[in-house]
Chains A and B, each alone.
Chain A
Amino acid sequence: QVQLVQSGAEVKKPGASVKVSCKASGYTFTDYYMHWVRQAPGQGLEWLGWISPNNGSTTYAQKFQGRVTMTRDTSINTAYMELNLRSDDTAVYYCARESESFDYWGQGTLVTVSS
């Protein structure tokens, strides 16, 4: 069965960076785009961008360009999202596979930004 397992919660200071991982199993990793979506406490969903695990190409939401980097390691079927943090970046970060929209989601990683 398809599973996306994310890394654990992080606490960071403003100005630091965080790198969240998303390990895929149960399907061919390189066949589907991987997206990153975040949800601030009590708020809705916000799209950060995607990566093609096949060739590593990326597309980022304009709001996050210059601050976010998405990479992947096909040898271990894992996607990564690294974000340079500001004080308002506290949120749960999700990875989500794209197949006719977002059909499988990771469990989420809480990133808390606090000085």
Chain B
Amino acid sequence: QAGLTQPPSVSKGLRQTATLTCIGSSNNVGNQGAAWLQQLQGHPPKLLSYRNYSRPSGISERFSASRSGNTASLTLTGLQPEDEADYYCSAWDSSLSAWVFGGGTKLTVL
């Protein structure tokens, strides 16, 4: 099934800002909104944001999400070593009647 498109990797320096992107379509991101998940090595995913920009309680304000058209973005400010992880976007696809995920972006903090 069709998924969402994410860059495989992004590298940024300590205390810098990284912006991760997720390209979908009008059937998913553009209509239903996107969520972002963080997966640390060896751990289950953790929800960072939902409905394009909302953050669950306990999630740092350093993580902010947005959407423009069919593209969702996750911005991480003040990068820390513990931010090194895989980041996935997800959305409900109304044409497939299925949840879809991006392939994930591996964030490296230099």
Q: Please list the residues of chain A having a beta carbon within 8 angstroms of any beta carbon in chain B.
A: 35, 44-47, 59, 61-63, 94, 96, 100-108
Contacts and interface: CB of A to CB of B under 8 A. Distances in A.
B98 interface: yes
A44 B104 contact: yes
A94 B46 CA distance: 12
B1 A62 contact: yes
A50 to B, nearest CB: 8
Query: Interface of chain B, helix or strand or loop or mixed?
Result: strand
Interface centre among A35, A104, A106 (most CB of B within 10 A): A104
A47 B56 contact: no
A46 B101 contact: yes
Sorted nearest first, the 7 A-B pairs with minimum C-beta distance are: A101-B35, A105-B44, A101-B50, A47-B99, A100-B50, A45-B101, A44-B104
B88 A44 contact: yes
A17 to B, nearest CB: 23
Contacts of A105: 44-46
Interface in B60-102: 88, 90, 96-102
